[in-house]
Structure 1
Amino acid sequence: MTINQTQDRIAADFEGIDDWMDRYAMIIDLGNELPPIDERFKTPDHLIEGCQSRVWLNAELQDGKMQFTADSDAIIVKGIIALLIEVLNGHTPTEVADADLYFIDRIGLSENLSPTRSNGLLAMVRQMKMYAVAFKAIEQKSGTAD
């Protein structure tokens, strides 16, 4: 499934839910389903700068595809990072770096978050894309770019 197909599916899932409390509950449920991050990645160098809550993010490249793991000490933020992982996991560094994450606006997430949470969301996206750019550079250097 492409990044855009996943975004469209997520947007469709949220479409039928008008009440934002129900949408928040759905996001929290996604966070609760997020596989745990390995404790060895819960270090300061895996913390995302710019988030009010603590968010740990790790990225690895497996068979040319990015694999993200994350955790947060805030339940809503854990759900948001779970959504981002759902969209970006399993794609090449180029696909992740170039992705237009339009689902964030389509589901109304940006306008229904506090300014500090919105900044945190941007910081999460920026960090995921930075990992992608770094992996892309490593691949180009080693001659295995996608």
Structure 2
Amino acid sequence: MTIQDIQNDIVDEFSMFDDWMQRYEYMIELGKSLPLIEEQYKTEENIIKGCQSKVWVHAELEDDKLLFTADSDAIITKGIIAILIRAFSGQKPQDIINADTSFIDDIGLKEHLSPTRANGLVSMIKQLKLYAIAYQTQLN
């Protein structure tokens, strides 16, 4: 599946819920299904700067595709990173770099987060794309 296909699925899933309490509950469930980062990668250099809570992300290249694992010490934040990893993990670095992230606006996520969580969301997207740029440079 392409990033766009996955993002469309996420938008469709969120549109099934009538209110934001249900959407938060769904995000928490997504966080529970997150491919967890191994303890050895829960290091200072894998923490995403700009997040109020701690979010660790690890990336590795396998068969020219970037695989992400992550964890957070906050349940909502864990759900947010789970959504991003679902959209980007298993994709080619160049596709991640070029990916549009407007699906975040389509599900209404940014407008329903506190300003600090919204900043954290932006930092997460930025970090995932920075990993993609770093790995794309290695591929060239």
TM-score (ref. length: structure 1): 0.94
The one-character-per-residue Cα deviations of 1:54-80 (angstroms, maximum 9, x if unpaired) are 000000000000000000000000000
- Measure how far apart 1:35 and its partner are: 2.3
The corresponding residue for 2:136 is 136
1:7/1:102 contact within 8 Å kept: no
Point out the structure with max Rg over C-alpha: 1
- Which whole-Å CA distance do the structure 1 matches of 2:18 and 2:113 have between them? 16
- Which whole-Å CA distance do the structure 2 matches of 1:124 and 1:108 have between them? 17
- Which whole-Å CA distance do the structure 1 matches of 2:103 and 2:31 have between them? 17
RMSD: 0.6
The corresponding residue for 1:16 is 16
1:29 partner letter: E
2:15 partner letter: E
1:87 aligns with 2:87: yes
2:38 partner letter: D
1:126 partner letter: K
1:37 partner letter: I
1:4 partner letter: Q
Residues 11-50 of structure 1: pairs in structure 2 closer than 5 A = 11-50=11-50
Residues 50-129 of structure 1: pairs in structure 2 closer than 5 A = 50-129=50-129
- Which whole-Å CA distance do the structure 2 matches of 1:93 and 1:16 have between them? 31
TM-score (ref. length: structure 2): 0.98
- Measure how far apart 1:104 and its partner are: 0.3
- Which whole-Å CA distance do the structure 2 matches of 1:40 and 1:130 have between them? 21
- Measure how far apart 1:87 and its partner are: 0.4
Structure 1's consecutive aligned runs of 4 or more residues displaced over 2 angstroms after TM superposition are: none
SS in 1 for 2:51: coil
